[in-house]
Amino acid sequence: MPVSVLYVHPAVMDAPVVRQIQSALRLSPIPAETPDIVYEAVSADADPVGKGKEILYLTLNKGAFVRDCPGTRNYTCCGYRILHVGTYCNMDCSYCILQTYFHPPVMQLFINHDDLFSELDSLFLDHRISRIGTGEFTDSLIWDRWTNLSPQLISRFSRQDRAVLELKTKTAHVHRLKGLDHRKKTILAWSLNTDRVIHSEERRTASIEARLDAAAKCADWGYPLAFHFDPMVLYEGCEADYKRLVNRLFDRIPPPQIVWISVGSFRFPPNLISIIERRFPDSKIIYGEFIRGLDGKMRYFKPLRIDIYRCVVDEIRKRAPDVLIYYCMEDDDVWKRTMGFAPLDRGGLNAMLDADAVIHCGLDGELLK
């Protein structure tokens, strides 16, 4: 969905990146000092969530750019850190919990980049490995159509050896990444799903073939890669579809170039149900066999999760026996019954992922001691 309205906070109106975005979008900026002014542009629409995907607000991040992933104490968290560069997305996935998060529900890009890079410089002084990414509250690569944000981040990360940047996407916007001296300090990552799920639940995202084409290009350019089978959706015949998806991945991408693969099933806060019913009336994904998990989110009944996890993990192991596979927010019982071990048996999930980042991305192994 194209951006049709551009709002800009007066304090950043003269910033070079604003002029760059304005020129790329061919839109005249509208001054807006507060998000409430922007919200008025969407609040009266029959579908304010959808309308917000046409509106871009360039503003300041007055909080922290670097944040810890909140996780939950009841499930194993990967220790990921968030680089909060912006919010929302102009793709439109039925299951996206960002539909419930933001007020106003419009795309925001924070352009006080001096503050951003200052925080990164502090991060790079940490005496520990940091795995950090921009894909928690937005898609990492949607901004590359209008800005040089990803190349700037890749350049900054390439100059140090204590942190790795992961850029997660459902797009194929990789043309700006060619020829960069990344020094393997940036991982390009794709969310993968079956053709059926992409067609029915992931509006305006790249096809699976386009995602794998983009990943293959980045592999040729020397980037480490990651893939996320998340959220997997259960439907009749899904096991065969996910097996085919695994093989499509490894038919295109050499396993040694993959740093890690995460696996997770569809889970959602209960307040997302009414939004999906209203915005995606043909979607059936909320009518599965769900139970409220320990984190308050609705999850597939555990035996169903275990069955699909075994199916996918076993298929990955056939094609890539050495690749690191991990679960996003699952408990030890699920790990043991599908992987044969719990993360703590191997030093914890953080340690497992950090060690792989050292191997694949050339981070300072001394920080693991």
Contacts of 106 (CB under 8 A, 6+ apart): 7, 35, 38, 39, 41, 42, 52, 53, 55, 56, 57, 88
Average pLDDT over residues 299-306: 97
C-alpha distances in Å from residue 48, one per residue of 14, 45, 107, 273, 334:
29, 5, 12, 16, 38
Contact assessment for residue 343 and residue 335, using Cβ atoms and an 8 Å cutoff: yes
CATH fold of 67-87+113-368 reads: pyruvate-formate lyase- activating enzyme (3.80.30)
Digit-coded pLDDT (tens) for 261-279: 999 999 999 999 999 999 9
Decide if pLDDT at 35 tops 90.
Answer: no
Q: How far apart are CA 308 and CA 254, in angstroms?
A: 24
Q: Please tell me the total number of residues recorded for the chain in this structure.
A: 369
Confidence of residue 247 (pLDDT cuts 50, 70, 90): very high
Decide if pLDDT at 17 tops 80.
Answer: yes
Contact assessment for residue 99 and residue 87, using Cβ atoms and an 8 Å cutoff: no
Digit-coded pLDDT (tens) for 201-213: 999 999 999 999 9
* pLDDT at position 282: 96
Decide if pLDDT at 76 tops 70.
Answer: no
Question: What residue ranges do the domains of the chain occupy?
Answer: 67-87+113-368
Helices 149-158 and 113-123, axial angle in degrees (round to 10) = 30
Decide if pLDDT at 71 tops 80.
Answer: no
Average pLDDT over residues 167-191: 98
Digit-coded pLDDT (tens) for 118-154: 999 999 999 999 999 999 999 999 999 999 999 999 9
* pLDDT at position 78: 77
Decide if pLDDT at 362 tops 80.
Answer: yes
Question: What does the block give as tokens for 182?
Answer: 């990344």
* pLDDT at position 89: 92
- List the one residue out of 103, 147, 111, 105 whose CA is nearest residue 11: 111
Torsion of CA 83, 84, 87, 92, to 10 degrees: 20
C-alpha distances in Å from residue 143, one per residue of 39, 71, 121:
21, 26, 22
- pTM greater than the 0.85 cutoff: yes
Decide if pLDDT at 226 tops 70.
Answer: yes
Q: Helix, strand, coil proportions of the chain in percent (round to 5)?
A: 40, 20, 35
Confidence of residue 70 (pLDDT cuts 50, 70, 90): low
**Among 19-28, 73-82, 129-138, 282-291, whose mean pLDDT is lowest?**
73-82
Q: How far apart are CA 340 and CA 300, in angstroms?
A: 21
Q: Give the amino acid at 171.
A: T
- The per-residue pLDDT of the chain, averaged, comes to 94
* pLDDT at position 102: 72
* pLDDT at position 39: 85
C-alpha distances in Å from residue 147, one per residue of 10, 86, 141, 302, 363:
19, 13, 10, 43, 28
